């Protein structure tokens, strides 16, 4: 009875304290850094030197265990902007990425990092379905997407963790927690900015959706903490400005309990469960909350936590599943198989598009990857579930980032059930940070696009919570115009 992409995909913090150590501990080399300082090493510096017919391999003596393979991809996705694909190689691990320059001014516009959720779903979904420069039209072609987020920003789409999309490992290495994945991402960010000097000091934003509510706060915290070591080593720190997370999973207990509101109250749509089902669910909520807190949040007992989750799912999720509705948009029926296409047939089309040999060759996908493209990796999902990764709330990371001057945008489509606005609003109001009192006292107000209401917003002291009317789980897919306006105002530091 597990649903992908949010509260019911769980994972465990199995790493020791060593897992949070500085990512360069295993590979940073001060002799190499001195060679760099002495002028014995010159980074490539500019993307114009990147080849299109083959990979250009980038190395840095301060990062002897890391390298980047990158190539220019002509006539791909949007022919009007420069696009690049490649791998960040971390010894035997290889993370695939897409990079698109801004349609406006790539030399001055901000840089966005984007990841989809899952855990285990490829960022090709964000690229080809939601906010990328193009959308897949059919399994053989794409069309330019006018409301792409690279209208005013340079943007990465990264297949992470290892094993997602076109990312892979040589010897079967795996990643089973968000904290482990954060090391790879922090290294990726550092080595890219160190090589391409025009991006040094550029405003940087980390964004994602769904399980990105777990990923992005941890990744951003790792990048922030990494900056202290970069400065100590004489390198340029990353100018991390903000995180942007759509329909995210931050506190799985709060989200699970909010399913009652989405099904039994007019929180977004009229109640759609029977009165008897809702009464039974309401009576079970305190017991469910108590068991989740005791077994999952307080003690991290894998056996007891699994039993508590199964108990809560049976009484809170079971009635919804029997309706055949789309958990990502309660106003629609699920089309296709939830497991295979997440109720959106276009996802299967994206996979077929990326399975074409000519497309893989154009992207520079490593030939060792011979299996069919899979938008979501079940093995990674199961590994994170077994590790109970989800039980680690990232609200603490959000509070810490806010108190260090990193701004946070939480946006939520009003029709999403699985990571809904009710649960997200609750944790933002309960969040303990230096600006909590002022944020809580701020009233929700309407925000508009072209004079029409687009949703509700509460913003104060660096934290912004916004809903997007009539949008589901994937806001840029359902409401591309409103999503772009939201992001453009955020990047321009304008009031939403």
- Any idea which residues carry the catalytic annotation? 210, 416, 473
Six-digit token pair at 8? 């019911």
User: For residue 270, what are the contacts with CB-CB under 8 A and spacing of at least 6?
Assistant: none
Q: How is residue 438 written in tokens? A: 């002022």
- How far apart CA 115 and CA 435 sit, in angstroms, is 28
Q: Kind of pairing, strands 83-90 and 66-72?
A: antiparallel
Query: Could you give the CA distance from residue 133 to residue 150 in angstroms, rounded to a whole number?
Result: 7
Q: How far is residue 225's CA from residue 184's CA, in Å, rounded to a whole number?
A: 14
Q: Please, are residues 101 and 150 in contact by the beta-carbon 8 Å criterion?
A: yes
**Longest distance between any two alpha carbons in the chain, whole Å:** 75
Q: Which two tokens stand for residue 212?
A: 């990105």
Question: 421-430 and 252-264 helices cross at what angle (nearest 10)?
Answer: 130
For residue 37, CA distances in Å to 61, 369, 419 come to 10, 38, 48
Which DSSP letter does residue 335 get? P
Alpha-carbon distances, residue 146 vs 134, 135, 143, 152, 491 (angstroms) = 8, 10, 9, 12, 18
Contacting residues for 75 by C-beta, under 8 A, at least 6 apart: none
DSSP letters along 315-330, please? IIIHHHHTTTEETTEE
Q: What stretches of 252-297 show up as alpha helix (H) in DSSP? A: 252-264, 275-292
């Amino acid at each position: 009875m597990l649903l992908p992409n949010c509260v019911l995909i769980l994972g465990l913090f199995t790493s020791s304290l060593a897992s949070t150590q500085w990512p360069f501990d295993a590979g940073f080399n001060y002799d190499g850094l001195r060679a760099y300082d002495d002028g014995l090493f010159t980074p490539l510096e500019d993307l114009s030197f990147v080849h299109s017919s083959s990979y250009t391999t980038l190395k840095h003596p301060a990062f002897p265990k890391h390298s980047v393979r990158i190539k220019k991809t002509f006539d791909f996705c949007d022919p009007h902007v420069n696009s690049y694909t490649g791998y960040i190689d971390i010894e035997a691990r290889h993370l695939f990425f897409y990079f698109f320059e801004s349609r406006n001014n790539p030399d001055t516009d901000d840089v966005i990092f984007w990841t989809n959720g899952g855990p285990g779903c490829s960022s090709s979904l964000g690229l080809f379905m939601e906010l990328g420069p193009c959308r897949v039209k059919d399994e053989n072609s794409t069309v330019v997407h006018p409301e792409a987020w690279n209208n005013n920003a340079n943007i990465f789409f990264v297949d992470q963790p290892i094993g997602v999309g076109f990312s892979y490992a040589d010897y079967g290495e795996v990643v089973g927690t968000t904290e482990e994945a954060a090391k790879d991402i922090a290294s990726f960010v550092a080595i890219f900015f160190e090589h391409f000097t025009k991006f040094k000091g550029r405003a940087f934003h980390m964004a994602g959706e769904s399980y990105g509510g777990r990923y992005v706060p941890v990744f951003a915290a790792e990048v922030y903490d990494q900056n202290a070591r970069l400065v100590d080593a004489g390198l340029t720190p990353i100018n991390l400005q903000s995180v942007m997370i759509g329909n995210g999973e931050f506190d799985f207990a709060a989200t699970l309990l909010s399913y009652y509101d989405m099904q039994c109250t007019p929180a977004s749509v009229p109640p759609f469960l029977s009165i008897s089902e809702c009464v039974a669910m309401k009576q079970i909520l305190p017991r469910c909350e108590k068991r989740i807190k005791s077994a999952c949040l307080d003690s991290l007992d894998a056996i007891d936590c699994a039993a508590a989750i199964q108990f809560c799912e049976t009484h809170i999720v079971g009635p919804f599943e029997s309706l055949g509705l789309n958990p990502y948009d309660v106003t629609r029926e699920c089309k296709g198989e939830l497991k295979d296409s997440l109720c959106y047939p276009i996802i299967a089309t994206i996979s077929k598009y990326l399975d074409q040999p000519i497309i893989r060759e154009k992207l520079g996908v490593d030939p060792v990857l011979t299996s069919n493209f899979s938008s979501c990796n079940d093995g990674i999902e199961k590994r994170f579930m077994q590790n109970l990764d989800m039980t680690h709330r990232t609200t603490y990371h959000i509070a810490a980032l806010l108190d260090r001057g990193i701004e946070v945008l939480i946006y939520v489509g009003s029709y999403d059930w699985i990571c809904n606005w009710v649960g997200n609003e609750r944790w933002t109001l309960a969040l303990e940070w230096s600006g909590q009192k002022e944020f809580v006292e701020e009233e929700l107000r309407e925000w508009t696009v072209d004079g029409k209401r687009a949703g509700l917003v509460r913003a104060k002291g660096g934290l912004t919570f916004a809903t997007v009317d009539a949008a589901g789980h994937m806001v840029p897919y359902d409401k591309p115009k409103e999503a772009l306006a939201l992001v453009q105002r955020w990047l321009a530091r304008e009031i939403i």
